[in-house]
């Protein structure tokens, strides 16, 4: 009896404790983890001071968020939240080093909208996270983003206000940064998204066909905008993976029959020379496919799929940064834990045993070489995304890998990874799972530079939802 009352009391207390105020500072919750280094003496600076460059933009565009029906190629119509009336939104192609200026206008998305430049390491105030780096833009409002991309590759943009809802509804688009001199050939950005149960490449939820002259160099930029992983089966050509998450790798031939698996938020660029026949890309478990052929006809091959292409074993494993001195080393374990998340009972995602927002916040100083040991202590897949930085993958399950640089690391159940990055972009940055449903259920935390503060507030009455 007394034990029962004590348990009830404990549950009531836990429930009460878990409730988030209507307006709160994301920095006032999680305990700060210093990663094994001494506390840092610092001056204070606000994220709103970390803006992009001034001056006359080389590239400027306005994106208007609005509700609109979107028609898929099968004829299916879906009610979407769009940029400029289309989902995916307009493809943005900019050049390395250009000053880019994007004005976001919100016409009628009541929940508010922002734009996050997924994978581009922009200055913090341009990062587009509601309640962390800006306020969500409400209907009738606008926000101007300015940055100078120095990375060449495949990225995407999407809302970061209640992203699990907004991205699903269609608030995203492809973003390509081209080198100063562009390669010849066919270059296609292919954002994949599931609209109300219909998986589509762009808006093609069935077979898209295109005539391509044999011998043409082709580059396909595969972008997974869904929360679940997507598998791409490539047939009829000799493809190689040439970039992962906007960073080039030495071309890695994809063995025949091996599908590519891309986690939520991830991108792979594949390149090949157009054969004298049908080359196709199919998305497994869907009707969506792209068929390239000399005369623009043909069918996807429906080849059975073999084992999945593994980015970690593209060649000789290379022990990267072996013996390096890390200024800070953090451990991050992902697991499930029963408890209350903002008053909701259930088994939620926990980071180092803590539920959001009381999760650890990693503190670094500018210039630090930082290592994170990630441990997926769960039976789910987690594409872990760090804002504002790319990390180098050092080991998987304790063994050296063929290194690559990534912003969205796909972690399979019970995998452990060690990654490292140079802390060279001051601010307050999110580190979260890009299965956006997981992020909304607590799989989210922050990386903070010593001394950073934010004037923005998360919470329902602040109308800012960083997830």
Query: How many residues sit in the footprint of ligand C2O (CB under 6 A)?
Result: 10
**Which of the stretches 38-46, 140-148, 230-238, 430-438 binds ligand C2O when contact is defined by CB under 6 A?**
430-438
Binding mask 237-276 for ligand C2O (x = CB under 6 A): ----------------------------x-----------
Name the nearest CA neighbour of 211 among 151, 298, 282. 298
Q: CB under 5 to 8 A by kind: which of Cu ion, ligand C2O, none does 464 bind? A: none
- Please state whether beta strands 428-433 and 369-376 pair in parallel, antiparallel, or not at all (unpaired): unpaired
State the CB neighbour count (10 A cutoff) for residue 425: 19
Which residue from 204, 314, 396, 432 is in contact with ligand C2O, where contact means CB under 6 A? 432
DSSP conformational letter for 459: B
At residue 34, φ and ψ (nearest 5 deg) are -90, 0
Tokens of 216: 């043409």
Which residue from 122, 200, 237, 433 is in contact with Cu ion, where contact means CB under 5 A? 433
**Which of the stretches 33-41, 164-172, 434-442, 450-458 binds Cu ion when contact is defined by CB under 5 A?**
434-442
Which residue from 378, 435, 444, 454 is in contact with Cu ion, where contact means CB under 5 A? 435
Residues 75-94 that bind ligand C2O (CB under 6 A): none
Binding mask 370-399 for Cu ion (x = CB under 5 A): ------------x-----------------
Task: Name the percent of the chain in helix, strand, coil, to the closest 5.
Answer: 10, 45, 45
Decide: helix, strand or coil at residue 362.
strand
Based on the shown chain and the rule CB under 5 A, indicate whether residue 243 belongs to the binding site for Cu ion: no
- Cα separation, 292 vs 322, in Å, equals 44
Are 152 and 247 in contact by the 8 Å Cβ rule? The answer is no
Tokens of 201: 């490449």
Based on the shown chain and the rule CB under 6 A, indicate whether residue 387 belongs to the binding site for ligand C2O: yes
Tokens of 431: 């580190």
**Which of the stretches 27-35, 81-89, 247-255, 439-447 binds Cu ion when contact is defined by CB under 5 A?**
439-447
Query: Rounded to the nearest whole angstrom, what is the least distance from the CB of residue 109 to ligand C2O in the complex?
Result: 18
Q: Which residue has the tokens 């069918």?
A: 299
Residues in contact with ligand C2O by the rule CB under 6 A? 116, 118, 158, 160, 265, 385, 387, 430, 432, 434
């Amino acid at each position: 009896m007394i034990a029962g009352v004590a348990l009830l009391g404990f549950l009531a207390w836990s429930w009460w404790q878990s409730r988030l105020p209507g307006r709160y500072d994301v920095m006032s919750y999680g305990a700060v983890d210093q990663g094994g280094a001494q506390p840092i003496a610092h001056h204070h600076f606000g994220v709103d001071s970390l803006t992009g460059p001034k001056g006359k933009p080389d590239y400027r565009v306005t994106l208007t968020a609005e509700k609109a029906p979107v028609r898929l190629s099968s004829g299916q119509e879906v009610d979407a939240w769009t940029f400029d009336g289309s989902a995916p939104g307009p493809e943005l192609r900019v050049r390395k080093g250009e000053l880019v200026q994007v004005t976001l206008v919100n016409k009628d998305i009541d929940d508010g909208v922002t734009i996050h430049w997924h994978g581009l390491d922009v200055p913090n105030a341009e990062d587009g996270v509601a309640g962390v780096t800006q306020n969500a833009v409400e209907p009738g409002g606008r926000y101007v983003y300015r940055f100078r991309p120095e990375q060449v590759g495949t990225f995407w943009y999407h809302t970061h206000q209640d992203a699990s809802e907004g991205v699903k509804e269609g608030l995203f688009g492809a973003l390509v940064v081209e080198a100063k001199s562009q390669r010849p050939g066919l270059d296609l950005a292919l954002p994949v998204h599931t609209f109300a149960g219909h998986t589509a490449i762009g808006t093609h939820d069935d077979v898209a066909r295109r005539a391509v002259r044999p011998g043409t160099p082709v580059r396909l930029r595969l972008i997974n905008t869904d929360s679940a992983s997507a598998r791409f089966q490539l047939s009829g050509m000799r493809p190689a993976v040439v970039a992962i998450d906007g960073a080039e790798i030495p071309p890695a031939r994809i063995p025949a029959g091996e599908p590519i698996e891309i986690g939520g938020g991830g991108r792979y660029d594949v390149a090949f020379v157009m054969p004298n026949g049908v080359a196709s890309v199919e998305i497994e478990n869907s009707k969506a496919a792209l068929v390239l052929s000399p005369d623009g006809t043909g069918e996807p091959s429906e080849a059975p799929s073999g084992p999945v292409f593994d980015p970690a074993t593209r060649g000789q494993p290379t022990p990267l940064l072996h013996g390096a001195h890390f200024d800070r080393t953090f451990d991050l374990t992902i697991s499930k834990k029963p408890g209350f998340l903002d008053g909701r009972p259930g088994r939620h995602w926990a980071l180092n045993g803590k539920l959001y927002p009381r999760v650890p916040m990693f503190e670094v100083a500018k210039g630090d070489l930082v290592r994170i040991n990630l441990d997926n202590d769960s039976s789910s897949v987690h594409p872990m995304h760090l804002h504002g930085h790319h990390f180098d993958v050092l080991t998987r399950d304790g063994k050296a890998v063929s290194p690559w640089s990534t912003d969205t690391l796909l972690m399979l159940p019970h995998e452990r990874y060690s990654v490292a990055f140079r802390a060279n972009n001051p601010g307050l940055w999110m580190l979260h799972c890009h299965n956006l449903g997981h992020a909304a259920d607590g799989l989210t935390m922050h990386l903070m530079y010593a001394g950073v503060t934010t004037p923005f507030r998360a919470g329902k009455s602040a109308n800012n939802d960083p997830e």
